[in-house]
Amino acid sequence: MTRIVRALLLSLLAALALAVAGCGGSEAGGSGAVGTQGLAGAELLPADTVVYAAIDSDLDSDQWQQVDELLQKFPGRERLISEVRTALSSEGVSYDDDIEPALGEALYFALLDIPGQGASEEDAPFVFLHKPKDADRFEALLRKADEDDEVKFRTIDDGWYVVAENEAAIDDALVAEGGETLADDERFTAAMDELADDAVMKLYVNGAPVSAAIRDYGKDAGVDLSSFGYDRFDSLSLAMSAETDGMRLAGNVRGDLSGEARGEPFTSKFLPEIPSGALAVLSARGEQQVAEGLRQLRKNELMQGAVEQFERQLGVSIEDLAPLFENEIAFYVRPGSPIPELTLVLESDDEAGDLRTVDRLVAGVSKLADGGPVRQSEVDGVTVKSATFGAFALHYAGFDGRIVVTSGRNAIRDLRSDEDKLSDDPTYNDAAEAADLPDETAGLLYLNFEDGIPLLLDFAQAADTDVPTEVSENLRPLRSFLAFGGAEGESIDFTAFLAIE
């Protein structure tokens, strides 16, 4: 879709920017059609719909009120409002005169088939469904946004409109009398029941056609994706919602997922050891998943030549590297000078063997990069090997069932010390509390924006890079980002939370 799609999407941006800016939205608020009032659009679509999305367009809803409260923390809010008005004007559409009077409670979007899987890439069957509060105004909006008459629409029962680029897509979107609808489909209802009631947006992906497409892609790319299990999922669903202290994206994947694809929750050994003040943390348990991914590179026809060259130049095979990533993995970044400290921690079942692999890898990298000789020293009772590459140094060691590779010489000492840890860090604790972080996860990603953004701005200034004041000021309200997930029952649940000051 072309112009009409841009106009409809701009309408939603307008709702975001203008909901409580004197152009709609009341102080009282309401639950919104995407939330507790249900997902009515699913009752009109066929059960085999590939992608379904519901977006709240009720400007009186609690969710839009909360979104605007978050936006008010950013100095660029007023400019956003102005730019949205300008963008709408360029489409010949006015928010006040054309959009606000026409929009109903929710806008629904559906993809009926996957391009290349029964639909041409040029003519993928997209449709929009909407029940406007004023049918005449809505039709006027469609005509104004589509002066070339490229978009078709049809009215159906109870004031609903189906909008598409051609009549065939509209025909495909309408369920035959007595036919099963998406709302009747057990996969859809089970997936959506996992989501919170209130949300700005909800999304559903039908796993059957997508799994088939994934298998075809893997076959074409020469990769056996079945070993990961990602080609056997039944559904994916997610919801984006606004909360008092930030935005949450939560969802789940359901299906015949086992082993590596499930990501069984675990209690990390490494998180309690990471020093306080980390700017970024990645925690995961590799099991066989990462190792298998490395091995699949060798089998990939497109990557095979590059892998063989890598092995020849560095003197380390993929099979040698794979065991390093079979257990728990942690990577974190801390402030450092002149560059941040980067540290990788790997759980090892064979310290001596894994250290020999790292020895060969570092020797190969040093040879290629004209690095200095590897030197040996003792730090906090641990034998540490170090190699220099110009102004950059790499240190590594094995101890207590761990292999540690870091750019900071003090990282190993700090990792082993009893000084403040990540669990003592107030920014991390606030992020964990806001995101409802459980004790066990299949992995997490944490970003400390509160401390990290000022450092990035300082680096930019030191590099004589001009960062506009409006950019830096609009980054400051960002406090942290935390994403995590894990298997529960028949689904893999995941959450991402952006904390806003």
pLDDT at 427: 95
Chain-wide mean pLDDT for the chain?
82
Q: How many CB atoms lie within 10 A of CB 162?
A: 22
pLDDT at 254: 85
Query: What gap in Å lies between CA 39 and CA 55, rounded to an integer?
Result: 10
Query: What gap in Å lies between CA 411 and CA 179, rounded to an integer?
Result: 63
Q: Give the CB-side neighbour count of residue 103, counting CA atoms within 13 A.
A: 32
pLDDT in tens, 371-411: 778 899 998 889 999 998 877 889 999 999 999 999 998 89
The better pLDDT of the pair 454, 262 is held by 454
Query: What gap in Å lies between CA 311 and CA 297, rounded to an integer?
Result: 12
pLDDT at 178: 74
Q: Tell me which range, 147-151, 202-206, 262-266, 295-299, is most confidently predicted by mean pLDDT.
A: 202-206
pLDDT in tens, 200-234: 899 999 988 888 777 777 666 666 655 555 557 78
Query: What gap in Å lies between CA 458 and CA 473, rounded to an integer?
Result: 14
**What Å distances lie between residue 273 and 55, 214, 402, CA to CA?**
42, 38, 12
Query: Residue 456: which residues within 8 A CB-CB, separation 6 or more?
Result: none
Which residue is listed with tokens 């990645």?
282
β 161-164/201-206 pair status: unpaired
Mean pLDDT over residues 267-276, rounded?
94
pLDDT in tens, 141-171: 887 766 666 678 899 888 999 988 888 888 8
Q: Is the dihedral of CA 408, 441, 244, 132 positive or negative?
A: positive
pLDDT at 313: 83
Task: Identify the three-state secondary structure at position 500.
Answer: strand
Q: How many CB atoms lie within 10 A of CB 480?
A: 24
pLDDT at 20: 42
pLDDT at 279: 97
Query: What gap in Å lies between CA 8 and CA 408, rounded to an integer?
Result: 51
**pTM for the structure as a whole:** 0.87
